[in-house]
Amino acid sequence: MSEPVRRIGGALALLAALALPLLLDDFWLQTGLFVMAAVVGAIGLTLLVGRAGQLSLGHAFFAALGAYTYAWTAGESGGRAAGLGLPPVLALVLAGLAAAVAGALFSPISGRLRGIYLGLATIGLVFLARHLMVNAETITGGFNGRAVESFAVPGFSFSNSDPDYLAVAGVELGGLHRLWYLFLAVALLAAWIATNLVRSRTGRALANVRDSEVAAAAMGINVARAKVTAFVVSSAYAGIAGALMALAYGRIAPDVFGLQLSIDFLVMIVLGGLGSIGGAAVGAVFVVSLPLVLTQYSSDLPFLAAPGSGGLDAATVSRLLYGAAIIAVLLFLRGGLAGAFDRLAFRSAAAPDPSGLPPAPAPRTGAETTPTVPSPGVPTRSKETTP
C-alpha cells in the first residue's frame, strides 16, 4: 500500500465518519457511539498487549473506574448518588487520570509479572471492581447504578438542548449526533497519540522488552519501568473509554463492567491483529456491532428463533459467531485482519520488484523489531516498516 493511497483512504474514511450521522437513524448512531468508545479502549489495550507483550484481563476495572469517576465528578450533588458538580471536560480528564493512577498503584505487580501471568493477576481487579461498585453506594449508586451527566463545554451541550435547535444540511443535530462528533474527535486523538507513542523512543523500548527482556536490559532499557509505563498508559485509555461508554449509555450499572468487557477488549485487538492500531478499530467495530445489529434485525432474519424458545436466538447466534471468529482468526490468519491486509498490500507492492532479493517477511507485529542479539558495534535500532 503506497503512501498516497493510504492517505486518500484515510481521508475518505474520515469524510464518511463526518457525514454518516446525517444519514443514520438513532439505532445506528447509538451503535456508532459504543463502537467509538470501544475503539479508544482497544487502542489502549493493543499498546499493552501488542506492543509491550503484556496481557491484561483487568481493563473492565479501569473502564469502570473511568466511567464512575466521570459520573461522580460531573454529577450534581444532592441526587440519590453524590456528585462533585465539576465541569464535564474536567471530569473526562479526571476519568483518564484516575485510571492511570490506579494503573500506577498496580505497578508492583505489573512491573514484575510478564505476559499471561500478568493477565491472570489482573482478573482479580475485575472482581474487586464489581465489589466496590456494588458496595460504594454513595458514589456508584450501588447495584442499580447511577445516571450520567451529559457532556458539555461552556455554551454548548452535547445533549438535546442548549442550543435547542442545531441543524446541518437540513438534518437536526440532536444529542446523539453531537456525541458522535465528540467521540470521533476523542477516538482520532487517541489513535494519533498511540501512533506517535509507538514510533517514539518509548514505543521502541516497549517492543524490545516484548521480544526479549534480556536484550532490552542489555541495551539500557529499564524493563520494569517500561512495563509499568505501558500498563499506566493503557489504563488511562481504558479510563477514557469507560467515561465515553458512560456518556453513550447515559446510565451505568456494575453489570456493564464485568469480566466479559475485559474479554471483549482482548478479542477486538486479537481479531484486528495485535499491535495494530487500525486493526484494533476494525476489531472494535466487529465485536461491538455484531450483537447489537443481530438483535435489532433478528425479526427480519428467518433463521433466528425468538429469545427463550430454545432455538437459535439472536444473542446465541452472535455469541457463536463471536467465538468462531476468534478461533478462525487465530488458526488461519497470522497477525489478525491487519496482518492479512498487510500481506495483501505487500504482495501487490512486491510483485513488480525486479531486484531478485528474497521477499522479506510480511510486515506484522513481530517483524519490525531489533534482532534479539544486537551485533557488537552496530547500533541496531528498531524501525517501523510502515512509515
Return residues touching other proteins (CB under 8 A): 49, 53, 55, 108-109, 112-117, 119-121, 123-125, 127-128, 130-132, 134-136, 213-214, 218, 259, 263, 266-267, 270, 274, 310, 312, 316, 319-320, 322-327, 330-335
Least separation in angstroms between CB 107 and other proteins = 11
Nearest CA to 261 among 282, 232, 291, 295? 291
Which amino acid is present at 51? R
Least distance in Å: CB of 332 to other proteins? 7
- Look up residue 252 and give its DSSP letter: E
The residue behind cell 531486484 is: 355
Beta strand pairing status for 146-147 and 251-252?
antiparallel
**Nearest distance from C-beta of residue 62 to other proteins, angstroms:** 15
Q: Least distance to other proteins from the beta carbon of 273, Å?
A: 11
DSSP state, residue 50: I
The Cα 233–Cα 315 span in angstroms is 34
* C-alpha to C-alpha distance for 19 and 28, rounded to whole angstroms: 13
Count the neighbouring beta carbons within 10 Å of the beta carbon of residue 194: 22
Closer to other proteins by Cβ: residue 57 or 281? 57
Compute the least distance from the CB of residue 4 to other proteins, in Å: 32
Q: In whole angstroms, how far apart are CA 96 and each of 3, 63, 64, 242, 285?
A: 33, 9, 11, 9, 22
Least distance to other proteins, CB of residue 119, Å: 7
Q: For residues 175 and 339, which CB has a smaller minimum distance to other proteins in the complex?
A: 339
What span, in angstroms and rounded, lies between the C-alpha atoms of 213 and 223?
7
